[in-house]
Structure 1
Amino acid sequence: MTRPEQSVRDGQPTPWDYLVFLARMNTTTHRQAVDHLYETYGETYVEQSVGNVLKKIRKWYGNKPLFQTGSERPTLTETGRLCHQHAERVKSLYEHIREERDNAKPLLPRLAHLPHHLHYVARLESWLRNKYGPEKMLETIPLRQQHRGDNEFKQHALLPLRHGEYQAVIGRRAPEDMDGLRSERLYWAQLQAKVKAGYAGDTMQLTELSKYPLMVAPRDLGSRLLLEQKVEQYGIGPLIIAEESYETSTHILRMRADHQAGVLNDRVVVVPSDVALVFKTDYEFGGTGAEHFKWVPIMHNAEQLQLEVCVTTLNQRSELLTEAVTQLQYICRKLPGLEGEQRGRGRGPARRPVPGPRQDSRRPAGN
C-alpha cells in the first residue's frame, strides 16, 4: 500500500484552529481575539494559546507569513488569504454541523442550577412528571459549588444560556448588559449564622458577628461580598476569618467535630438561608448533633442581610418553560425556611418589600 504523500496527522489545523485564526484576523490584538472567542463560543482561552495556534497554522502552510508586518490591524499575505478561504469553508461546515446537531436534539429544556438549589428543583421535576409524564420534563444540570461566584456563574451559566446550551439557569440576576435575558425572582435568601444552641439571642447583630472567628465562603461569592460590603458601609471592625471554603459541609463538619471533641472555640458559620436549609435539624444533612446548634439571622439594627435568587431564561421561551418558572416560584414561596427563620408564631418566613430597580442593582446578587 502506497503511503500518502502527506499524512492527515502531520499537524494540519483543526476546525477550532481556523476559528482562532478568524478571531485574530478580525481583531487587533491577541487579547481581543481571546475576548471574541469567549463571547462568541463561550470558550476560555489565553493569549499564549492564540500565538501557538498561529505558529501551528503558519508551519502547516510552509512557514510562510500569514499577516503582513507594520500595520495595526492584521493585513493578510497571499498565504494568509489562502488560509482565510480555508477557514471560512471550515467555519461554514462547522456551523452547518452544529445546526444539524441542534435540530436533532430532544426538545426538553435544560435547567442549570447550583447544588443547594436541588432541594426545590427536585420538587419541580416531581410536579412536571406527575402532570405530563416523563416525555415532557426538564433536563436538570447541576453546576459546581465554585460556579456560585459572580464571574464563574456568568461564564458557566449565563453565557451558555445565551448560546443555547441551557434554556434556564438559577442563581444571581443577569447583568443589565447581557441583552436578551430575562431574570425573575424566586426568593430572598437571608444571611444566617450557625451558633451553639446556648446562644441567647434569636438574631445576631453584625457588630457582634465581627467579634467571632468566621467560617465563610471565598471572596467571589455573593454572601461574602454582602457581608464585607455591610461591614464597610456601617464602619464595623474587620472580620475575623478562620476558614474559607466553597463547601458548606466542610464548615459544618468542623463545628460538629470540635463540639464532639470538647474543643472550646466560638467559631461561627455564615451562609445564606437556602444553603443552610438542608443542614438544619430534621433535614437531609442535619445529622447527629444538629440539636447542639441553631441558625440565627444576621442583622444590622432592624435590617436583614439578604441576597436575591432568580431564575433566568431567554426573553423568548417555550410555554412549558414559562409554566415551569411559574411553578418554581410557587414551590419556593411554599418551602419553609428557604428565605430564613420564621419571625413569630404562625407566620411564614420574613418577607422583604419588593425594592425598586436601584436597590436591586446595588445589592450583591446570587449566593
Structure 2
Amino acid sequence: MTKQRPKPLDEWDFRAFIALAEERSYEDAARRMAGLHGGYSRQSVQHRIGKIENYVGEPLVRRNVDRRYLLTPAGERVLQIARQVVALHERIGSAAAQPTVWTLACGPHHTQFVALAEDRLRTAEGDKLRVEYLSQPNRAEHQFFGDPVDRLLRNEFHLIIGPAVRRPGLRSTPLYEARLEAMIDRDYPGDRLALADLVRDYEAFLQPRDVRARRVLEDAIAAAGIPDPDPAGRVAMETYETATSVIRLQSERRRPGHGRGRILVVPSDVALPYKVGMVFGGREADRFKWVPIHDGGATLRMETCVTIRDAHQTALRPVIDALRAGVHHLDLGPQGISGAPLTFATPIPSQRT
C-alpha cells in the first residue's frame, strides 16, 4: 500500500504558523487569525500547524515551562519560508487589486492636516483619498490596536493615523510629536508648567484613562515619584469632549474660595483648534494661554504615525508625503500642531526576524 501524500499547504496555513510563532499561544494566534479571516478557534490553528508538521515530517513547535510555544530548529526554518510565501501573496494581491480610492482612518483632531493633504492630492491626482473617522471606542489606546489595525490588515483601511503599530506586514512612519499642554490662565507667569506643580496646585480637566495622553501623564507622575496623595482630588472632570472642557474652564476660570486653580490638559494636536486665532478659539481664548508640561526639563510628548501595509509602500508614498506636508504647513503657523516638528520621517520597521 502506497503512503498517502500530505495535503498541499496554502497561504492561510503559513499565516497561522506565523501567528503562533509570534504570539506563542494558540489562543492568541486564533484571535489574531480571526481578525484577518474570521471564524478561527484554537482548534483551527492547531489543525493548520498539524498539517504543516505532517507535510514537513517533524515537530515544528514545543511547549516550554511557562506553557508558551517555541519553535524547534525545523520550525525556525519553516518560519522563514512562511514569511516569504505570505509576502509573495501580498505582493500579488496588491498588484492585482490596487484600489482607485485609498481609505484613511484617523481621529477628529487630525482633521486640519488631513484636509490639507486632501487638497494637495486633489490638485495633483483628483479624489483618491477617502477619510473615515474612528469611533470614540476605537480611538482608545487599547482598542486602536484591535479593530482599526485588523481592518488595515484586511485591506478595509489603507492608512491609519495614531500611535506606531509594530506588527508584521505593517509599516509606521512618524508624522509629528504632540506635546502635552495645559490651558491655563494668561496671568500664569511661566511659559511651561512643571509636572509637580500640576499635581500639587491644580485640578485638571483630563481625558479618560483609556486615552494615550492620559496614560502618558499618569505614567510620568508615577515615574517621577511625585507625591500624589489624592489622585481623584486633582481631577476636575474626565471627558472625551475637549470642547466641553474648554467651555467649562472659560466659564469658571477659578472656583471661588478654593486654593487650587483649574486647567485643561490635552495633547497639542487636540489643543490646536482652541487656541487664539484658531477656528474654535472663541472670544475667551485670549484670557488663557497654552503651555507645555515638563518633568525635569523634558516636555511630555507622544508620537503620531501613519501606518500602512508593507505591500502599499510605493503606491501610498504620495499620500504620506501629502500628510507630512500638511503637518509642516501647520507647524509653520503661529500655533503649531507639535512642540518640535519632525524634519524627516524614519519608517518604523515591522518586527521581523
Do they fold alike, i.e. is TM over 0.5?
Answer: yes
The whole-number CA distance in structure 2 between the counterparts of 1:43 and 1:319 is 25
For 1:199, what is the secondary structure of its paired residue? coil
Q: Deviations over 1:297-337 (max 9, x none)?
A: 00112201100000000011164411110221122123133
Q: Deviations over 1:227-285 (max 9, x none)?
A: 11111111112241221111111211111222499897611111000000011111111
1:254 aligns with 2:248: yes
- Highest CA radius of gyration, 1 or 2? 1
Closer/same/farther in 2, CA of residues 317 and 42 from structure 1, 3 Å limit: closer
The answer (yes or no) to whether the contact 1:146–1:246 under 8 Å persists in 2 is: no
- Residue 160 of structure 1 corresponds to which residue in structure 2? 151
The answer (yes or no) to whether the contact 2:254–2:261 under 8 Å persists in 1 is: no
Closer/same/farther in 2, CA of residues 104 and 309 from structure 1, 3 Å limit: closer
Return the match for 2:293 from 293, 298, 309.
298
Which amino acid in structure 2 is aligned with residue 253 of structure 1? I
The whole-number CA distance in structure 2 between the counterparts of 1:171 and 1:269 is 22
1:196 aligns with 2:190: no
- Residue 332 of structure 1 corresponds to which residue in structure 2? 327
Percent of matched pairs sharing the same residue: 32
1:48-87 aligned at under 5 Å gives the runs: none
- Residue 314 of structure 1 corresponds to which residue in structure 2? 309
1:124 aligns with 2:117: yes
- Residue 24 of structure 1 corresponds to which residue in structure 2? none
- Residue 148 of structure 1 corresponds to which residue in structure 2? 139
- Residue 222 of structure 2 corresponds to which residue in structure 1? 232
Q: Deviations over 1:29-74 (max 9, x none)?
A: xxx77973664246999x9xxxxxxxxxxxxxxxxxxxxxxxxxxx
The answer (yes or no) to whether the contact 2:206–2:214 under 8 Å persists in 1 is: yes
Which amino acid in structure 2 is aligned with residue 112 of structure 1? A
- Residue 262 of structure 2 corresponds to which residue in structure 1? 267
Which amino acid in structure 2 is aligned with residue 111 of structure 1? L
- Residue 173 of structure 2 corresponds to which residue in structure 1? 184
Closer/same/farther in 2, CA of residues 231 and 44 from structure 1, 3 Å limit: farther
1:133 aligns with 2:97: no
Closer/same/farther in 2, CA of residues 261 and 224 from structure 1, 3 Å limit: closer
Higher relative contact order (CA 8 A, sep 6+): 2
The answer (yes or no) to whether the contact 2:272–2:337 under 8 Å persists in 1 is: no
Structure 1: runs of 5 or more not aligned? 1-31, 48-102, 341-348, 362-367
Q: Deviations over 1:74-93 (max 9, x none)?
A: xxxxxxxxxxxxxxxxxxxx
Q: CA RMSD in A?
A: 3.4
Structure 2: runs of 5 or more not aligned? 1-25, 42-95
Closer/same/farther in 2, CA of residues 357 and 334 from structure 1, 3 Å limit: closer
With structure 1 as the length reference, what TM-score do the two structures score? 0.64
- Residue 100 of structure 2 corresponds to which residue in structure 1? 107
Moved more, 152-161 or 162-171: 152-161
The answer (yes or no) to whether the contact 2:175–2:345 under 8 Å persists in 1 is: no
The answer (yes or no) to whether the contact 1:277–1:338 under 8 Å persists in 2 is: yes
The whole-number CA distance in structure 2 between the counterparts of 1:113 and 1:143 is 6
How many pairs are equivalent?
263
Closer/same/farther in 2, CA of residues 318 and 186 from structure 1, 3 Å limit: closer
